[in-house]
């Protein structure tokens, strides 16, 4: 018994030690970013604070149209979260609960799009939207979102497929249409998956795509992720000198919404992925 207890203690200690080590490795880049955002402008980068120059944060939001770029990020992220969260749920419901010829083939075809790199379709997509006249508008993001997300559809399909058929049959006896069954019964009890899809969509749209806005929008409509690296911060009077510390301050403010959303929704994120995997 003593040997078994010692073994269990050693195993738990090793696991916790590994988790602490990995946590430190993941936190180090953020620590470096915050530390260097507080350095004196023009100083060299360091892992140790060389001062507390909070004026860098004031420069970050005043030297460029920071809040204008943030507004663009909010618009794009709002479209990317709201629209595909609902359309993916609807498509996932169809794959899970409706029957029809070729449904399995269509589902596999939809999943296969996850293996297609997005950069492959960038040029043809740009040509299409250019000919329609959607360049320098937010319409491309709306139409991309309207098609949903293959991974989100998969999560919804796995989750909806676990519900008993009697639940759906009882609703039809009460006179519910197919859409009403989806909207009033299935969607309200799929909150973990809805939260998971929303969090992933927000993280991906807020800071996960730099190139697409650069191609489709003019610089006055850039989202924050694109603007911080395309517009940048130059020293007043000498455009050749980059204010790296001010850029770091802008990046700290930029990542705050991602951190807040993750910590608020992390419970739903884990629950949504696990429930879709186990129940499906």
**SS3 letters across the chain:** CHHHHHHHHHHHHHHHHHHHHHHHHHHHHHHHHHHHHCCCCCCCCCCCCCCCCCHHHHHHHHCCCHHHHHHHHHHHHHHHHHHHHHHHHHHHHHHHHCCCCCHHHHHHHHHHHHHCCHHHHHHHHHHHHHHHCCCCCCHHHHHHHHCCCHHHHHHHHHHHCCCCHHHHHHHHHCCCCHHHHHHHHHCHHHHHHHHHHHHHHHHHHHHCCCHHHHHHCCHHHCCHHHHHHHCCCEECCEEEEECHHHHHHHHHHHHHHHHHHHHHHHHHHHHHHHHHHHHC
**pLDDT at residue 9 is higher than 80:** no
CATH superfamily entry for domain 62-279: MetI-like (1.10.3720.10)
User: What is the C-alpha to C-alpha distance for residues 202 and 208, in angstroms, rounded to an integer?
Assistant: 9
The reported pLDDT for the residue numbered 78 is 93
Q: What are phi and psi of 238, to 5 degrees?
A: -150, 95
The per-residue pLDDT for range 104-154, each reduced to its tens digit, is 899 999 888 888 887 788 888 889 999 999 999 999 999 988 888 888 999
Distances (CA, A) of 118 to 14, 146, 228, 267: 40, 17, 22, 29
Question: To the nearest whole number, what is the mean pLDDT of the chain?
Answer: 84
The model's pTM is 0.84
Higher pLDDT, 208 or 22: 22
User: What does the pLDDT average to over 180-188?
Assistant: 88
User: What is the C-alpha to C-alpha distance for residues 211 and 118, in angstroms, rounded to an integer?
Assistant: 11
**What residue spans in the chain does CATH classification 1.10.3720.10 cover?**
62-279
The reported pLDDT for the residue numbered 176 is 84
């Amino acid at each position: 018994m003593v040997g078994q207890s010692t073994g269990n203690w050693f195993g738990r200690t090793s696991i916790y030690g590994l988790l602490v080590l990995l946590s430190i490795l993941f936190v180090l880049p953020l620590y470096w970013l915050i530390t260097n955002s507080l350095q004196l402008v023009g100083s060299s980068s360091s892992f140790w604070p060389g001062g507390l120059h909070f004026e860098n944060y004031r420069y970050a939001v005043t030297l460029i149209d920071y809040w204008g770029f943030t507004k663009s990020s909010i618009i794009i992220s709002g479209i990317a979260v709201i629209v595909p969260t609902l359309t993916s749920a609807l498509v996932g419901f169809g794959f899970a609960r409706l029957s029809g010829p070729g449904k399995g083939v269509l589902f596999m075809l939809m999943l296969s799009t996850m293996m297609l790199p997005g950069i492959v379709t960038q040029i043809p997509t740009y040509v299409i939207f250019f000919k329609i006249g959607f360049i320098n508008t937010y319409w491309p993001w709306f139409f991309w979102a309207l098609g949903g997300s293959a991974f989100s559809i998969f999560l919804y399909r796995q989750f909806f497929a676990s519900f008993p058929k009697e639940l759906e049959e009882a609703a039809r006896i009460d006179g519910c249409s197919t859409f009403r069954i989806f909207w009033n019964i299935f969607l309200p009890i799929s909150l973990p998956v809805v939260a998971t899809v929303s969090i992933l969509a927000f993280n991906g749209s807020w800071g996960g795509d730099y190139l697409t806005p650069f191609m489709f929008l003019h610089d006055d409509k850039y989202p924050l992720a694109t603007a911080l690296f395309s517009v940048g911060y130059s020293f007043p009077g000498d455009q050749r000198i980059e204010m790296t510390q001010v850029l770091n301050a802008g990046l700290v403010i930029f990542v705050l919404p991602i951190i807040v959303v993750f910590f608020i929704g992390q419970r739903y994120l884990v629950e949504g992925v696990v429930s879709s995997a186990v129940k499906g």
